[in-house]
Structure 1
Amino acid sequence: MKRILVDTNLLLEGFEINNEHKYILLSHVNRELDKHKVHGDGELKFKARRAVRFIEEHQDNFEFDVKDYKVSFDEDFDNNYTDNKIIQACIDNGYSLTTNDLLLKQKARMYGIDLVESDGKVSDLSYVGYREIAPSDSELALLYENLKKNTYNLLTNQFLIIKNNHGFVLDKLRWNGEEHVKLKHSPTKKIKSMNHLQDCAIDILLNKEIPIKIIAGNYGSGKTILSVKTALYNVLDKGNYAKIMMVRNPIGSGKEIGYLSGGKNEKTEGFFKPFIQHLDGGDQEAYFLEQRGVLSREIPFYMKGLSIEDTIIICDEAEDLDVKLIRLIGTRLSSNSAVIFAGDYNQTENEYKNNNGLMRAIDKLKGNPLVGIVVLEEDVRSNASKVFACLE
């Protein structure tokens, strides 16, 4: 069995575990991951969190080396540079090394360290739907003078979050495939944005030119409430669609309560509470909307063969769908219909961890002009809710 040291770069990008090896993590690498989780940009933060979850899920394959290595293999190399500590650890312990960093590979070859090629990038999410920049005054002026130029190589419907050097958001734009455009803001007080990423989500949710909307992200980040409020506005206030269909795959965390009597509606009623809690009138409003034919509830099992017209579908807890179910729901769309997939891939139930349809959809559909994607981050539910974020 080889003992292979893994560097930060490879952990951020992802790799497949080979059960024949033991993977070594240095304390220096762990500190870099922690730093990126807090101080990185949006995509880097996500990748660092993903790497930490990956290590936790494969903890039996990893071994932690907590020694604080002092660089002695060459007096000209900086002792505070993590790559040099990696080289020193390999020399001291006979570790092999796996990395995608070309300079680190070259340095490892210089000192005769065994290099192991990674077994390929894991199929995991790295696209968050936006890019954050902190341009200089001249770069900012150039951007606004050339709004039809894709200066930052954005995908279609990817957002550009413009910040100053202190992290304050100056502006938000979306590349629509032809030019950078301003975001659509909430036209009603019933749809409230709590942060700049929710602004991006609202822009997607209100845009009829983007019929496939994926709002992903952490618990408490506002996925469901924004989906429900914008759907109600689109149907009841604007008349963009005639109906709302709530879709949920009826599985969940915790212990089952056993056999439930009644028909489909009675058996699945509890799974639709996250939708209904965001109706101003709660259960009573849901009842009246259903009686008028404006609101319906469905589960994927019963959707095969349906053709859904003039409807906005809200598929909540979409992390609990495999690729087949995502495809099943999406292919129901007929004329003048749209679908919202809302989910937190961090809360995926076990049976969908290795075949996660939401993550696959984001990876495969990004950049399609009919698709809008944004991954929300901040928990806006409450300060108390944030306390439990550390329980990973």
Structure 2
Amino acid sequence: MKKIFVLDTNVLLQDPNAVFAFGENEVIIPSIVLEEMDSKKRLADEIGRNARYVSRLLDGFRAQGRLQDGVALENGGTIKVELNHRSFVKMQDVFGEITNDNRILAVALNYHTEEQEKPEPKDVVLVSKDTLVRIKADVLGLTAQDYMNDRIVSPTDMYTGCITLRVHPAVIDEFYSFRFLSVNSLQLSFKLRPHEFVILKDEMGTSKSALLKVNGDGRKLEPLYLSNEAVWGITARNAQQRMALELLLNDEIPLVTMSGKAGTGKTLLALAAGLYKIEDEHKYKKLLIARPVVPMGKDIGYLPGEKEEKLRPWMQPIYDNLEFLFDTKKPGDIEKVLAGLGSIQVEALTYIRGRSIPGQFIIIDEAQNLSRHEVKTIVSRVGEGSKIVLMGDPEQIDHPYLDASSNGLTYVVERFKDEAISGHIMLERGERSRLAQLAADLL
């Protein structure tokens, strides 16, 4: 039996191709959704881009027929812009205020009521990324669901970049004797990915263990290239940080992704590795550091001054880490250091579109606030001889239409986890302070 799916505005703003995701069913777009799209189309961000894309898509459907009567889609479904189900009478006793959300709910409710009067009623499903809209729909007796097609992976199945295996102690002895292990010799029932880290532990319960990394072709386990020496004054404080430095300093891995809670050292490790590669090894010409301009809490509005002055509040976390690495004592000293070096550029992602960036060590902080389209735009800017590091905490997202399963960082991690040119590690242990670790765990 075919179903009727009523789409909320936020579904189309998140995925402008969502109308094609419902198979051979009927897709309904309430007229208020068009009005909300119209209010968003002038925005310069991705929400505005998606609103314009949906507008062009619907305009293309007009050539095939009248949208208010329904237009057939290539996948066997139909799309319809609904004009005649806006009656709010049935909802006034429950939700008296005529808001845009309630008007969308009214469309779904009126469709549901009509279908129940038919001999073979179709299921009516309201699709929304707004939790409260789905709750309201449930109160009204409607079926409601989140839009799941944009989810890359469930939070519990996210790739961590590290696995612990319990093996016979003879396997660990073999590794220390020959300094490598064949992946086939482990006889695993699952596949190890390129540059995945493996911790071997004695299945007999002794303290014997080994830390290894899968090589680029996924066939061999090798020891870590780095010992635990300091990198630009920073020493790894736990196993995951050591793994992160291994990826960051490996010139054969041009794409590195790191995820983890606040205080796990993502930004500090990336900056230390970048400075080492540029100032000590001269592997890259410049260190480019960028982060999306997405506020936590209420936006503070327009800021005065030149571009550097406007960006400073957004980039302050980067400057905090640079001040620590350069051990500056007075306010303003870091600007003098950066001006003297000339090889470090702190930038907002707003200015990265259209650029080609060869021979640079690129750090993208707070990548969890990027959409799939935005992260594709950024990674596709990387030129020959460059290395890009994407990092963030998928649990701390300030973007209104993204979550831990649909953000750009998670998207890159999952799409590149089987590629030999990329490596990923999830940092778990906080090292900022005991208070910060407790806050991350308890709050």
Matched, 1:370 2:421: yes
Q: Which residue of 1 aligns with 2:213?
A: 174
Change (3 A) 1:199 1:253: same
Change (3 A) 1:312 1:296: same
Change (3 A) 1:286 1:331: farther
Letter in 1 for 2:249: L
Q: CA RMSD in A?
A: 2.6
SS at match of 2:295: coil
Is the CA contact 1:158–1:367 (under 8 Å) kept in the aligned structure 2? no
Which of 107, 117, 123 is matched with 2:153 structurally?
Answer: 123
Q: Which residue of 2 aligns with 1:288?
A: 337
Letter in 2 for 1:180: L
Q: Which residue of 2 aligns with 1:148?
A: 182
Is the CA contact 2:358–2:382 (under 8 Å) kept in the aligned structure 1? yes
Matched, 1:223 2:263: no
- For residues 232 and 332 of structure 1, the distance between their equivalents in structure 2, rounded to whole angstroms, comes to 21
State the number of aligned residues. Answer: 278
State the shift of 1:390 in Å.
4.4
Matched, 1:361 2:412: yes
SS at match of 2:252: coil
Larger Rg: 2
Q: Which residue of 2 aligns with 1:80?
A: none
Which of 309, 313, 322 is matched with 1:266 structurally?
Answer: 309
- For residues 366 and 435 of structure 2, the distance between their equivalents in structure 1, rounded to whole angstroms, comes to 22
SS at match of 1:215: strand
Matched, 1:211 2:254: yes
Is the CA contact 1:248–1:315 (under 8 Å) kept in the aligned structure 2? yes
**Structure 2 unaligned regions, length at least 5:** 1-130, 136-147
1:54-73 equivalent positions in 2, closer than 5 A: none
SS at match of 2:240: helix
State the shift of 1:235 in Å.
0.5
Is the CA contact 2:229–2:235 (under 8 Å) kept in the aligned structure 1? no
Is the CA contact 1:311–1:338 (under 8 Å) kept in the aligned structure 2? yes
Q: Which residue of 2 aligns with 1:109?
A: none
- For residues 247 and 181 of structure 1, the distance between their equivalents in structure 2, rounded to whole angstroms, comes to 33
Change (3 A) 1:290 1:369: farther
Is the CA contact 1:213–1:371 (under 8 Å) kept in the aligned structure 2? yes
- For residues 320 and 197 of structure 2, the distance between their equivalents in structure 1, rounded to whole angstroms, comes to 30
- For residues 267 and 229 of structure 1, the distance between their equivalents in structure 2, rounded to whole angstroms, comes to 25
Identity, in percent, stands at 27
Q: Which residue of 2 aligns with 1:137?
A: 169
- Deviation sequence 1:53-84 (CA, Å, 0-9, x none): xxxx89x88xxxxxxxxxxxxxxxxxxxxxxx
1:276-355 equivalent positions in 2, closer than 5 A: 276-279=319-322, 280-282=326-328, 283-351=332-400, 352-353=402-403, 355=406
- For residues 195 and 378 of structure 1, the distance between their equivalents in structure 2, rounded to whole angstroms, comes to 8
- For residues 167 and 210 of structure 1, the distance between their equivalents in structure 2, rounded to whole angstroms, comes to 34
Letter in 2 for 1:247: A
State the shift of 1:266 in Å.
1.4
Q: Which residue of 2 aligns with 1:27?
A: none
Is the CA contact 2:264–2:431 (under 8 Å) kept in the aligned structure 1? yes
- Deviation sequence 1:96-150 (CA, Å, 0-9, x none): xxxxxxxxxxxxxxxxxxxxxxx99973352100111122223434666671334
- For residues 283 and 341 of structure 2, the distance between their equivalents in structure 1, rounded to whole angstroms, comes to 17
Matched, 1:381 2:381: no
Change (3 A) 1:167 1:138: closer
TM-score normalised by length of structure 1: 0.65
State the shift of 1:391 in Å.
4.5
Is the CA contact 2:358–2:384 (under 8 Å) kept in the aligned structure 1? yes
SS at match of 1:229: helix
Change (3 A) 1:148 1:339: same
State the shift of 1:299 in Å.
1.8
Is the CA contact 2:152–2:406 (under 8 Å) kept in the aligned structure 1? no
Q: Which residue of 1 aligns with 2:195?
A: 157
TM-score normalised by length of structure 2: 0.58
Q: Which residue of 1 aligns with 2:230?
A: 188
State the shift of 1:327 in Å.
1.1
**Structure 1 unaligned regions, length at least 5:** 1-56, 62-118
- For residues 371 and 342 of structure 1, the distance between their equivalents in structure 2, rounded to whole angstroms, comes to 13
Change (3 A) 1:122 1:236: closer
Is the CA contact 1:215–1:341 (under 8 Å) kept in the aligned structure 2? yes
- For residues 270 and 167 of structure 1, the distance between their equivalents in structure 2, rounded to whole angstroms, comes to 51
Letter in 2 for 1:123: V
- For residues 169 and 269 of structure 1, the distance between their equivalents in structure 2, rounded to whole angstroms, comes to 49
